Amino acid sequence: MKIGYFYPPYYPVTASCSVHGYCLMQALKKRGHEILSCAGDGNPDCINFSRSKLGAFRLAHAADVLYIRASVFSNLPLATLLKCLRPLSLPVVWEMNAPVEELAATLPANTDHDRLIKREKRRLKVLARLADAGIGVSDILQQYLLHHMGIKKAYSIPNGALPEAFMPENIVKTPLEQFSKKFKIIWAGNAKTVWQGLDLIIEAARRLEQTDPEMLFIIIAGESAYHFPVLKNLLVLRQVPFTDIQHFLAAADVCLCPYIKKTDQFHNSPLKCFDYMAAGKPVITTALGQLEKIIQHGANGIFIDTTVEALKDALRMLKADPALRTTLGANARQSALDYYNWDRVARDTEAVLLDAIQAKSRWSLPRVSLP
């Protein structure tokens, strides 16, 4: 299958949607598919077309299906219009990672949220009429594709991790080795989004700075405007490549993803949580949205309320109980091995793409060679 891949830049891989695009692409290639791109980044793992209208037209002519990340406030959904070049034989599948309403939580307070949300939703709904299927990374986003975007064939395919990257033989030592006597608490992610719970983590670190100096909070974040205070028990690491994240997570005793609900529904399929699980680490998180399915409290992770005291209590409990940490971590890794991995994501995505192609196959017309 030749998959026309329209995604935010992910080569070289950095973080967030870049990781999603990279991991899914690699997993689809492993299943024998060809990835066609006109991103202009020279990705050696793709069949590259020029970053131009002609390049996009050539890609659409060569592809069996278009896979498009329907990002809010992005030109990527416009690639759906390429279907008009082969309306009877070129299926389009959307991937949605966030609803339009997420804008209300990310734009400055003085912005006219309602006007922007209505305008963007209207634009996407028009383009969605051309989509043959949609993939949401959570059940809530599947329903969003069905009921708000009007895509009749919508699927829920949660994200995953790369369990093989966290095998002991693939781990190398990092500077965190010098903190071997510390109880290391790691958060990794995008510090610019408001629902990440960083304020909660920083306040917990501030309160524990004097009362429990053995606890060391380690933040792995890219460049952002977030202001991290100077604390004796806080270490901030910038620009750690995704390809090295397993080495740092290996040093953790506990990993955090205490999300804060900022919109009516929590839609995320958090990449960090799956990486923590694949690393075999106990996860402290909040019972929101898809996380309630991923984590079983007391089995492969711990749920907390979004309060500083709840976070402190969970950290103290896990610090005092190494056996519980081991059990939670082992169960979490097994969950990643069994289901929450990119091989499963690629397999499920492949099924959606093949179904979209087969639905169009009876309309297939001979393709005329382009100059």
Q: What angle do CA 258, 259, 260 make, to 5 degrees?
A: 120
Asked if residues 345 and 67 have their Cβ atoms less than 8 Å apart, the reply is no
At residue 302, φ and ψ (nearest 5 deg) are -130, 130
Strand (E) or helix (H) holding 310: helix 308-320
pLDDT of residue 109: 63
Sketch out the chain's domains with CATH numbers.
Answer: 2-160+342-361 (3.40.50.2000), 163-338 (3.40.50.2000)
- Map tokens 């080495």 to a residue: 247
Q: Please, what is the angle between helix 17-30 and helix 342-361, to 10°?
A: 70
Cα(91)–Cα(84) distance, integer angstroms: 10
Q: What is the pLDDT of residue 8?
A: 87
Q: What is the dihedral of CA 202, 207, 210, 211, to 10 degrees?
A: -130
Residues 138 and 289: beta-carbon distance below 8 Å: yes
Q: Which residue(s) pair with 23 in the sheet?
A: none
CA distance 280 to 278: 5
pLDDT at 17: 60
pTM of this structure:
0.92
Q: What is the mean pLDDT of each run of 10 residues along the chain (371 residues)?
A: 93 73 96 96 93 96 97 92 95 94 70 84 96 96 96 96 95 95 94 86 96 96 82 92 93 95 77 97 95 95 96 98 98 98 98 95 55 52
Phi, psi of 295 (to 5 degrees): -105, 130
Of 131, 130, 109, 107, residue with least CA distance to 119: 107
pLDDT value at position 260?
A: 87
